[in-house]
C-alpha cells in the first residue's frame, strides 16, 4: 500500500504516520517545512517515545518526505492508495488545490484504481469539509470519476501529542501518550478497506465523533481555561487542583449524559471512559501546555464545538449544565497576547460588552437564561483573576 500523509509535525509523525508505517505502508510525508522534509529524507527514520504506565521507544523507518508545494507531491497523489492528513482544520483548504491537481492528472492517465482520503483532524466531519474544498478546485468534468474512484472517509482521532521540546541531538524525536483512538466510517471507502493496525471501523461514526468532542475535547478545554485563570502552565498542573478537577469531571458528566440519551451509550462504561481521560490529563510524562490547548478560543466557543454543542444538548434533553456554563465563562476570560483569536475576543468584550461578545462567539440568544448565567459567572471569574 502506498500512503501519503500531509503533515509531518508531531501528530503526523507520532500518531497517524506511525500507525501507517507500522502497518507496512510505503509511506511518504508531505510538509511545507523544507527543513523538516530534509531532515526526514536524511534520517529516513525517527523515534517515538510512547509514555504512560510504561515507557517504550518505537523506531519508525522506511519513510520518505516531499515538499507539500512541489511537483513531487503531485506525483505521490497520482500513485497513492491512501492519503491522510494531520495539518490542522485551517490548513485543509490550502491542500485541497494540491489534491485536485494530483487527482486531475491521476484521472487523465487514466489511473482509476480506488483511492481513499482521510482527514485526521480535530474537527467534526473534517474529510467532508476537505472533499467540498477539493470539488471546488477540480474541474467539473472530473467530478464523476472522483465519486466513482475516491473515497472521502470521515474519522474521529484521539491522542495527546504535545509539542516536543527542542532536541538538537534528535529534532525528529516525538513523545506521545500510550492511548490512541482512530475510528473511521467504514461505509465511505472505495474498494477494499486498507488494513491499518489501530484504525477502527464503525457504521455510526457521529456517535464516536461526539463522544470524543463532548468528553476529551470538552474536558481538555475546561481544564485549560480554568487552569489559565488559576495561573497554571500545564494541563497536568491544572487537573491536580481538586477544585478544577471536580468542575472538569462534572462538565464531562453533564456532556456525557447527552451522549447517553442521544446514542444509548452505557452510562457506567462512559463513566469509566471519563475517568480514563482524567488520568490521561494527569500523565506525569506529558508536558501539555495550557497555552497550546486554550488557543483559538473563538473557534472553540463556536456553536458546533466542544463547549456550546454539548450545552445545547443539555438544553435539548433538559439536563443540568452548570459546569459547562462555567467552562464557557472561563473561556471568555482567556487572555493570550500571542493568540489573535484571544485578542479579538477580548476586543469584542471591551468594545461591545461581555453579553454581546458571548452571543457573537457562541450563537446563544442574548435573552436566554444560559447567557445570563454565563455573564454572571464571567463577572465572578474575571473578578477573581484581577484580585
Does 111 appear as a known binding residue? no
For helices 340-352 and 354-362, angle between their N-to-C axes, nearest 10 degrees:
130
Does 3 appear as a known binding residue? yes
For helices 369-386 and 354-362, angle between their N-to-C axes, nearest 10 degrees:
120
Q: Which residue has the cell 484580585?
A: 387
Does 88 appear as a known binding residue? no
* Residue 110 preceded by cis peptide, ω within 30: yes
CA distance readout (Å), 174 to 67, 71, 111: 21, 28, 36
Does 4 appear as a known binding residue? yes
Does 69 appear as a known binding residue? no
14 SS3 class:
helix
Q: Report phi then psi at 47, rounded to 5.
A: -105, 140
Does 52 appear as a known binding residue? no
Max CA pair span of the chain? 68
Q: Which residue has the cell 473563538?
A: 298
Does 227 appear as a known binding residue? no
Q: Which three cell numbers stand for residue 29?
A: 510525508
Does 217 appear as a known binding residue? no
Does 14 appear as a known binding residue? yes
Q: Where are the alpha helices (DSSP H) in the chain?
A: 10-11, 17-22, 34-43, 71-79, 92-108, 126-137, 143-149, 205-212, 218-230, 235-239, 242-263, 267-281, 290-294, 297-300, 308-317, 322-332, 340-352, 354-362, 369-386
Does 11 appear as a known binding residue? yes
Does 335 appear as a known binding residue? no
Does 283 appear as a known binding residue? no
For helices 242-263 and 218-230, angle between their N-to-C axes, nearest 10 degrees:
160
Burial of 244 (0-12, 13-18, 19+ CB in 10 A): buried
Burial of 176 (0-12, 13-18, 19+ CB in 10 A): buried
- The binding site comprises 3-14
- The binding site for NAD(+) comprises 3-14
Amino acid at each position: 500500500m502506498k500512503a501519503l500523509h500531509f503533515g509531518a509535525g508531531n501528530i503526523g509523525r507520532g500518531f497517524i504516520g506511525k500507525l501507517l508505517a507500522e502497518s507496512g505502508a510505503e509511506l511518504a510525508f508531505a510538509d511545507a517545512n523544507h527543513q523538516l522534509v530534509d531532515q526526514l529524507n536524511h534520517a529516513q527514520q525517527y523515534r517515538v517515545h510512547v509514555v504512560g504506565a510504561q515507557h517504550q521507544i518505537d523506531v519508525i523507518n522506511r519513510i520518505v518526505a516531499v515538499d507539500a508545494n512541489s511537483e513531487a507531491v503531485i506525483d505521490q497523489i497520482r500513485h497513492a492508495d491512501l492519503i491522510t492528513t494531520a495539518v490542522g482544520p485551517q490548513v485543509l483548504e490550502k491542500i485541497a488545490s494540491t489534491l485536485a491537481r494530483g487527482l486531475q492528472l491521476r484521472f487523465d492517465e487514466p489511473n482509476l484504481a480506488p483511492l481513499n482520503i482521510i482527514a485526521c483532524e480535530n474537527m467534526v466531519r473534517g474529510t467532508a469539509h476537505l472533499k467540498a474544498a477539493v470539488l471546488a478546485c477540480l474541474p467539473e468534468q472530473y467530478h464523476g470519476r472522483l465519486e466513482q474512484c475516491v473515497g472521502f472517509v470521515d474519522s474521529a482521532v484521539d491522542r495527546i501529542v504535545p509539542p516536543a521540546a527542542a532536541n538538537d541531538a534528535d529534532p525528529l524525536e516525538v513523545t506521545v501518550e500510550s492511548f490512541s483512538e482512530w475510528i473511521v466510517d467504514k461505509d465511505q471507502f472505495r474498494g477494499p478497506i486498507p488494513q491499518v493496525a489501530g484504525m477502527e471501523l464503525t457504521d455510526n461514526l457521529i456517535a464516536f465523533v461526539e463522544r470524543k468532542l463532548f468528553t476529551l475535547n470538552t474536558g481538555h478545554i475546561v481544564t485549560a481555561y480554568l487552569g489559565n485563570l488559576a495561573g497554571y502552565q500545564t494541563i497536568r498542573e491544572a487537573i491536580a487542583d481538586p477544585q478544577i478537577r471536580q468542575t472538569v469531571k462534572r462538565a464531562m458528566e453533564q456532556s456525557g449524559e447527552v451522549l447517553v440519551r442521544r446514542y444509548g451509550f452505557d452510562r457506567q462504561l462512559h463513566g469509566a471512559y471519563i475517568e480514563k481521560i482524567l488520568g490521561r490529563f494527569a500523565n506525569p510524562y506529558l508536558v501539555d501546555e495550557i497555552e497550546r490547548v486554550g488557543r483559538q478560543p473563538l473557534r472553540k466557543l463556536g456553536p458546533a464545538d466542544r463547549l456550546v454543542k454539548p450545552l445545547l444538548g443539555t438544553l435539548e434533553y433538559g439536563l443540568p449544565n452548570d459546569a459547562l456554563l462555567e467552562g464557557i465563562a472561563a473561556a471568555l476570560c482567556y487572555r493570550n497576547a500571542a493568540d489573535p483569536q484571544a485578542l479579538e475576543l477580548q476586543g469584542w468584550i471591551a468594545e461591545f460588552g461581555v453579553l454581546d461578545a458571548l452571543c457573537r462567539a457562541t450563537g446563544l440568544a442574548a435573552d436566554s437564561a444560559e447567557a445570563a448565567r454565563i455573564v454572571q459567572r464571567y463577572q465572578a471569574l474575571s473578578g477573581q483573576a484581577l484580585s
